[in-house]
Amino acid sequence: MQAEVCFPPPKPQLTWRVGVTGHRALDDGEILAVASAVTEVLVLVRRTLDELAAASDVTSVYALAAARPRLSVISPLADGTDRLVASQAVQHGYRLDVVLPFEREAYVRTFDSQDAGTFEALLDSARSGANGDRILTLDGSADTHRRESYRAIGRYIVRNCDLLIAVWDGEPAAGEGGTADVVDAALAAGLPVWWIDPARPATARLLGQAQAPSTAPQAALVHLIQRAIRPVETARPHAHGSLGWLAQSLDRALGLTGTPLEDYLRETAPGPSRLRGVYAAFLRRIAPTPPYEERGVPQPDGPVEAWWEDHHAKAALLSKTYGDRYRSSYVAVFFLAGLVLISAAIGFVVPPGAHILVASVELAALSAIALLVGANHLYRWQDRWITYRFLAELCRKQRVLAPLGWTLPIGDVTRILSPDDGRISTTHTAPRHDAWVAWYFSAIRRAAPMPSGSLAGPALERVRSVGHGMFQDQQTYHRLRHQRSEMASRRLAHWGDMFFLLALVGVVLRILLEVMHAPGWAGTAIALACFVSPAASATFLGIRAYAEFELLARQSGRMQQVMAVALAELEALPLDGPLASNALGATLVGTTTSMLLDIDGWAQLFQVKAVEAG
């Protein structure tokens, strides 16, 4: 049963998350200087976010609670750097998210210092927030998998923060999960790192971001935050043909639409529309849906799943709405074009008194084609269908990953949606009109609730259940699409060939009638059949080619195999050992990334297929 979808789509809260890694042992002489350097960067981040919160382009796309951005720090609270940064952050109004590598009692026994009071006070700070407990315990082990558990903590922080503060001497890691290992993982993921050398804390540097040698690190960090927070500017889709140019000129004159992101945030619940049903009715005629057992993904459980399902449901509903409009419009245009050809041909054989009626039908069909093509260009039905589908799929996949603290590789997301520069935004003149999707996904990912509780037993089984439901849902979807696409392709080809043969037979009969000097009414009837048959053949074969049924069938056949392998891997995973969440997360990320690439392949089929009049 599908939950009710509320509109308009929610704006994400303006959020910035800071992660921490660093040495556990800091000399007494280093602590004050490091604390001062940490405070400096935390205050700089706060001031930059506060200034951005007052900018009109930011307030138009973000929700601002109490007119302030939401800042948080993610820390494992080990002694040394972790607690130092967490303490400073809490003092400056940051929320604290705590992630522990294994159970608290075993974790405390690994501390070098005996300062349990600071650890417990910071844990209480993470428990006392307005949003409830903000502590997550991973399924590591202090006995047999300690190093791997520390490595898992580092990867968790890298996946879930926007800036990593690293208090580090610059030396290679002493072992797996050390500070250098975390920094390397962050740089490999494209995450900016604020490096504070404990021996020289006043010379903090920003790593992982190209900058001019003369640019101060603080200025480079401010620029980085602005670039990530400010909405990316996107070019409008290219206008195809004269009708597309006229539609965009009208839009510019009247201001009927805004930027793609503004349009998405202004979307309202779709109402009833006869046009949207044309494609569905046509497909039901040529390829009825075979019977199947509907299972679906379990209903959301907890704030993390609910957050992502809410965003997915809105984007999916809007994508379906615009997809139905786009596909219905091209089906209608093909049939109307066939009617135009038939009307024009009939005009040569009907009595003079019927010319006005035939011409009126032709004019009405041409006008309807112009209106459909113009509306498609003006309201970007095709573009919204594809971009909203991308957003829906990103959110759906994140729903299964987020409870583990995993995420879709943002580099893969941006490379697919913004291949021109490979980043969310480097300048604010991105040439791709769909680049906003990667930017917006990053914004709602920052604002999403963090997982809490314990990643063990029931929590992992729940994630596997959601992943299993999603993969089964995709397997069923692709099985049905494969069957329907093959059936539609065969039948349209059959009908197109049949009408072509009728036209061929009609031409032969016309020649015979001319030779035999048959009555005029017979020749007229056959001539009409000759006009209708080629138009009908062109209509059916044109729809078949435009809908790419054969390519869709092959794509769905391939994805059925991918889903079958994924389901088998998921079911075979043991979830009762240390760090089972790592194996589960890796399996889910691998499959969801394959699904994302499949969506990209699907989009490539239709991004160049704008509805045209001729």
Q: What is the mean pLDDT of each run of 10 residues along the chain (614 residues)?
A: 70 95 86 95 97 91 80 95 95 96 92 78 82 88 91 95 95 81 93 95 87 79 94 70 72 77 90 86 90 80 94 94 93 92 79 82 92 87 92 95 90 64 39 78 94 93 95 93 94 91 81 67 70 86 89 94 95 93 94 88 74 61
Residue 520: exposed, middle, or buried by beta-carbon count in 10 A (0-12, 13-18, 19+)? exposed
User: Is 493 part of any domain?
Assistant: yes
Residue 289: which of 483, 23, 87 has the closest Cα?
A: 483
Q: Would residue 192 count as lying in a domain?
A: yes
Q: What's the pLDDT at 85? A: 97
Of 163, 197, 229, the last residue of a domain is: 229
Q: Does some domain include residue 218? A: yes
Residue 246 lies in a domain: no
Q: Are residues 166 and 283 in the same domain?
A: no
Report CA dihedral (460, 463, 467, 470) to the nearest 10 degrees: 160
Residue 88 located in a structural domain = yes
Residue 572 has a pLDDT of 95
Provide the percentage of residues in the chain whose pLDDT is more than 70. 88
**pLDDT tens sequence across 346-395:** 877 777 777 888 889 999 999 999 889 888 888 889 889 999 999 999 99
Q: Examine the domain organization and report whether 427 and 366 are in the same domain.
A: yes
Together in a domain, 475 and 554: yes
Output the CA–CA distances (angstroms, integers) from residue 609 to 65, 126, 136, 237, 377, in the order listed.
Answer: 42, 51, 47, 12, 12
- Whether residue 212 is found in the same domain as residue 284: no
CATH number of the domain that 143 lies in? Answer: 3.40.50.450
Residue at which a domain ends, from 171, 203, 229: 229
Looking at the fold, whether 209 and 80 belong to one and the same domain comes out as: yes
Q: Are residues 208 and 292 in the same domain?
A: no
The beta strand positions in 448-541, using DSSP E, are 453-454
3-state secondary structure of 19: strand
- Specify whether the CB–CB gap between 74 and 160 falls below 8 A: yes
* φ and ψ at residue 71, rounded to 5 degrees: -115, 140
Asked if residue 594 and residue 534 are part of one domain, the reply reads yes
Q: What CA–CA distance (Å, rounded) separates 547 from 541?
A: 10
Is there a domain that residue 250 lies in? no
Domain co-membership, 225 together with 331: no
Task: Show which of 172, 203, 229 is a domain's final residue.
Answer: 229
Q: How far is Cα of residue 26 from the mean position of the Cα atoms in its chain?
A: 42
pLDDT given for residue 30 in this prediction: 86
What letter does residue 540 receive in the DSSP assignment? H
Question: Given this model, what pLDDT does residue 210 score?
Answer: 67
Please tell me whether residues 425 and 540 are part of one structural domain: yes
> Apex CA 414: angle with CA 411 and CA 417, to 5°?
150
| Co-location of 520 and 471 in the same domain | yes
- Whole-number pLDDT of residue 429: 41
CA distances from 528 to 201, 248, 338, 356, 515 (A): 88, 40, 14, 18, 19
Q: What angle do CA 302, 308, 311 make, to 5 degrees?
A: 130
Q: Is the dihedral of CA 579, 585, 590, 591 positive or negative?
A: positive
- Do 353 and 495 share a domain, yes or no? yes
Q: What is the number of domains present in the chain?
A: 2
Q: Tell me, yes or no, whether 38 lies in a domain.
A: yes
**Cα–Cα distance between 363 and 595 in angstroms, integer?**
45
Q: Give one DSSP letter per residue of 392-429, joined into a string.
A: HHHHHHHHHHGGGT----HHHHHHHH-TTTSSS-SSS-
The answer on 332 and 200 residing in a single domain is: no
Return the pLDDT at 3. 54
Condensed to tens digits (0 to 9), the pLDDT of residues 72-116 reads: 999 999 999 999 999 999 999 999 999 999 999 999 988 876 667
Q: What is the rounded CA–CA span in Å between residue 213 and residue 194? A: 16
**Domain for residue 318, yes or no?**
yes
Query: Which residue range is the domain that position 345 belongs to?
Result: 270-606
Looking at residue 281, what is its pLDDT?
A: 92
CB 417, CB 387: distance < 8 Å: no
